Homo-oligomer: A and B are copies of this chain.
Amino acid sequence: MAPCLSFFFLFLFAFSAIPANSLPTFFPGAAYQSLIKQAKISKPKLPFKTHYFPQTLDHFTFQPKSSKLFYQKYLINSDYWRKGAPIFVYTGNEGNIEWFAANTGFMLDIAPKFKALLVFIEHRFYGKSMPFGKDSYQSAKTLGYLNSQQALADFAVLITSLKQNLSSEASPVVVFGGSYGGMLAAWFRLKYPHIAIGALASSAPILQFDKLIPWSSFYDAVSQDFKDVSLNCYQVIKGSWAELEAMSTQKQALAELSKTFRTCKSLHSTASARDWLWTAFVYTAMVNYPTKADFMKPLPAYPVQKMCKIIDKIPSGATKLSRAFAAASLYYNYSRSENCFKIEHEVDGHGLHGWGWQTCTEMVMPMTCS
């Protein structure tokens, strides 16, 4: 059985412990933040200027502390802009805004045609946009202000002010977003129709709530991605879970696993190996772009195809687990810079820390596998 199901039960019965891989479309929850590596993320010079906007803490009450201000980061590219022309706004999601600016080339591609101004707004409680500085994640008293409704209001206030400052009130605004950012873009158009004339919401599961869609749809799509390339590939990955489970009852499991997975330090838990594999397959399916890209990790074009090629090439005599490891290495070491893997000690490179809070308050999107 694939691990997602057991994680799903965890999700149901141990709600306070956020099982990140039950919520994968929107990027890592708390547990998985540790699996994202900071050191390897290249930081290219982005064609944007950085600004900070004095933003209101609470848009929906008039309590004395509601009017506290914090500084919200946003990026601007005016290379192609002609006053009065459209303003394209990326409604930032759960990470620092540079990450999305570096990976939303589409907006840069179309900016010259529309003579558009490009604006990337960082979501409150991510990146540098911390309402209470280093104390922002201290408790529910501070984190209580982290939610989508407040974020949408932030965007509305910032866009309105920006247009006034640019004396370009008549410029039509179109919002863009991907994943949770796409949900924000779609909701923004719905909730603030007088501010945005349109929204482009990419990979945005705006209906992944309650029982509106089958809870298995996400993992069905992940499995199908691998099946489409090679049935053997899919079966090897699926079988590797059972091998790992069987192994975990053995005495020498951790030592053997540490060897198989070429870990830099000995593993403390077989769950770490499981999560590490899960991340590789699920995230690679999520970023199975037709071009070379570097969103979660540097990867070649059609990385699922490449992974399955690795699996299918290794003789069937090898264990499924070792073959799954080899495929996962594509995700973690496409750049061939790793001699060993820091499976239990990777760090949060994109500032995703707040997503755990959001998945436990508003973004409760149950998922299971078929």
Q: Which residues of A contact B (CB under 8 A)?
A: 58-64, 66, 140-141, 143-147, 149-150, 190-191, 193, 361-362
Contact = CB atoms under 8 A, between A and B. Distances in A.
Contacts of A150: 60-61
Nearest to A57: B61
A145 B190 contact: no
A157 B247 CA distance: 49
Given A62-B140, A62-B361, A191-B191, 9 more contacts: A58-B60, A60-B149, A61-B61, A61-B144, A61-B147, A61-B150, A62-B362, A63-B140, A190-B193
A361 B64 CA distance: 12
A64 B140 contact: yes
Nearest to A191: B191
Closest 5 CB pairs of A and B: A63-B144, A60-B60, A61-B144, A62-B144, A62-B361
B190 A63 contact: no
Contacts of A58: 60-61
A145 B60 CA distance: 8
Nearest to A60: B60
A361 B67 CA distance: 12
From DSSP, what is the main secondary structure of chain A's interface residues?
A: loop
Contacts of A144: 61-64, 66
A273 B185 CA distance: 54
A136 to B, nearest CB: 14
A191 B191 CA distance: 5
A62 B193 contact: no
Nearest to A61: B144
Contacts of A60: 58-61, 147, 149-150
Most buried by B among A61, A63, A141, A146: A61
24 contacts: A58-B60, A58-B61, A59-B149, A60-B61, A60-B147, A60-B149, A61-B61, A61-B144, A61-B145, A61-B147, A61-B150, A62-B140, A62-B143, A62-B144, A62-B147, A62-B361, A62-B362, A63-B140, A63-B141, A64-B140, A64-B141, A64-B144, A190-B193, A191-B191
A64 B141 CA distance: 7
Contacts of A63: 140-141, 144-145
Contacts of A190: 191, 193
Contacts of A143: 62
A27 B190 CA distance: 30
Most buried by B among A58, A66, A144: A144
A215 to B, nearest CB: 19
Contacts of A61: 58, 60-61, 144-145, 147, 150
A201 to B, nearest CB: 16
A147 to B, nearest CB: 6
A281 B64 CA distance: 38
Nearest to A66: B144
A356 B141 CA distance: 29
A209 to B, nearest CB: 11
A146 B66 CA distance: 13
A61 B140 CA distance: 9
A198 to B, nearest CB: 16
A143 B58 CA distance: 14
A362 B62 CA distance: 9
